[in-house]
Amino acid sequence: MRWWQKLGLNFKAAFGISATMVIALGIVFITLSQYFRSLLWQSEIQKTENINSIAESLLIEAMMAGRKDQIQETLQQLGQSVSNQQLYSIAVYDDDYRLTSFASGFPGTPSVQKSSMPTSVEDPSCWGCHQLPPEERPSHLVVTVEGRQVIRNSIPLYNEERCQSCHGTEKQILGDIMVDFSQEQFQQGYSMLLVRLGGGFAAAILLVAVVLYQVLRQIVLKPIEKVVEVADAVSHGDLNREIVGMGGDEIGALARAFNSMISQLRELIGTLESRVAERTKALQTSVEVSRRLSTMIEQDQLVREVVEQIQAAFGFYHAHIYLFDDHREHLVLVGGTGEAGRLMLERGHRVQRGRGLVGRAADTNMPVVVADVSLDANWLPNPLLPETRSEAAVPVALGEEVLGVLDVQHNVVNAFQPTEIKLLESLANQVAIAIQNARAYEASRRKAQREAMVASIGQQIFATTSVEDALKVAVRELGRATGAPETVVRINVE
């Protein structure tokens, strides 16, 4: 049935309507044709009965008048008078079932041979008088005479009281009259009826099918075509299309649901594009921070650059970095954005280990995210940042060693998504490596300075020629190197 699935909805609707109409009107056609056939058949039977009744009356009249020799002529005249009704033959039988009178060859019908008529009571045509009781006798039979089907009507001639003066009272039936009537008029009439009915029903099927199809097209197919058209446009990227002009039925409900889906899809794609742009910018920031961190060797410059770039890239309300002090009891602010960051740096802002989001992140070495700070009892408000609504504290750590915390705040609730936290963790790890490198560089630089100073002092001491001069040089250079206001060398001579 794949071929059927490939067909269009218009064709399926037209085919379904046509098939339904053919079946429904076909049943009506068969019923009506059978009904009219029955009427036509009854009309033909009535003709045979009327002719037989006339023949019976004429026959009895002739016999009562003593004109038995004129019976044949009477039958012939009767046949001539009803020849336009396709009368084949009229036969009269006596009580011994002998054919006493016979007339055929009427105008408009073929002649029937007398020998073709029944000659025995055993003949199927003799049921009317000999085989069945009167109450069970059918009104007619359809028999074949010389290859033609005819309607045969047989009327018994009962021994009535007026006949008993000649025939006595011993016999109940004195004979019968048998009339054969052609079926051609019936067949022609029925065929014509079928042609007319068939033509009428074919026209009715076509008319009703066209009307129903147009109604169905207006009510169902056109709205569905609109939905399909808009769906095709949406599938090709046109999200500005909408289905309009629909009613309140199921298709209208479908159209409204589809419009809602398009609107949501448009918003979703817009949101995704915005998020992709934000993520792209964040990734670019991450790359840029990594590149800049690799070139920085001063810790103060490093933290200042990091917080500024993070705030600009992500659009956060505020960002700052804390580092542990030498005793690892407090987290000291070493870099912050904006005027609030500058003021906190001047005031030496610090957070005790374990307190607030920053302290918890440093203690657990895991990010601490609060979607709504007003619902967190451990959140520490800062009067310099009154618009903070959500906050994320990410540890700056090298493995298990926590160096400090990267803290970011936003002025909207639920601002930090998992992807942003992952990026902040990555940046915090890079900051930790950069801080370690900066500290290592500073330690190496100081060590080199000390070694150079010691070497310089040693060279100057070696250049002296007396102990007194050597001591003077040593005292002078040590004082310069240490910046001490007074340098004294004491020698204990025993």
The answer to whether residue 47 scores a pLDDT higher than 70 is yes
Give the residue-averaged pLDDT of 359-383.
Answer: 90
59 and 171 in one domain? yes
Predicted confidence at residue 72, as pLDDT, reads 72
Residues 13 and 162 grouped into a single domain: yes
| Co-location of 36 and 123 in the same domain | yes
pLDDT in tens, 426-453: 888 888 888 888 778 778 888 888 777 7
The Cα–Cα gap between 296 and 304 comes to 11
Which of 410, 426, 441 is at the close of a domain? 441
Q: Are 461 and 478 in contact (CB under 8 A)?
A: no
Q: Using the predicted structure, report yes or no on whether residue 67 has a pLDDT greater than 70.
A: no
Boundary (domain end) residue, out of 190, 211, 246 = 190
At 303, the pLDDT band (50, 70, 90 cuts) reads: confident
Q: Is the pLDDT of residue 26 over 80?
A: no
In a domain, 419, yes or no: yes
Residue 26 lies in a domain: yes
Please state the domain count of the chain. 3
Note whether residue 195 is domain-resident: no
Q: How far is C-alpha 492 from the chain's CA centre?
A: 104
340 and 418 in a single domain? The answer is yes
CATH code for position 355: 3.30.450.40
Q: How much is the average pLDDT of 203-232?
A: 75
In the numeric block, which tokens belong to residue 102? 């016979």
**Which structural domain range is residue 458 located in?**
445-482
- Looking at 142, 175, 190, which one is the last position of a domain? 190
In a domain, 271, yes or no: no
Q: Which residue has the higher pLDDT, 214 or 382?
A: 382
Same structural domain, 51 and 78: yes
The whole-number pLDDT of residue 295 equals 61
- Look at residue 278 and tell me if it is in a domain: no
If asked whether residues 449 and 365 sit together in one domain, one would say: no
φ, ψ (nearest 5 deg) of residue 172: -85, -35
Lowest mean pLDDT among 126-130, 305-309, 401-405: 126-130
Q: What average pLDDT does the segment 165-184 reach?
A: 71
Q: Is the pLDDT of residue 384 over 60?
A: yes
The CATH code of the domain that includes 182 is 3.30.450.20
Question: Does residue 206 lie in a domain region?
Answer: no
Together in a domain, 466 and 413: no
Specify whether 406 is located in the same domain as 305: yes
Q: Is the domain of 118 the same as that of 80?
A: yes
Per-residue pLDDT, 173: 67
Mean pLDDT, to the nearest integer, of 75-96? 72
Output the pLDDT for position 494: 57
The reply to whether 391 and 472 lie within a common domain is no
pLDDT tens, position by position, 323-350: 998 888 899 998 899 899 899 988 999 9
Q: Indicate if 406 and 465 belong to the same structural domain.
A: no
Q: Which residues, in sequence order, are CB contacts of 49 under 8 Å at separation 6+?
A: 139, 140, 153
Q: Which is more confidently placed, 383 or 488? A: 383
172 shares its domain with 142: yes
Greatest C-alpha distance within the chain: 202
181 domain-assigned: yes
406: in domain: yes
Q: Note the pLDDT of residue 434.
A: 80
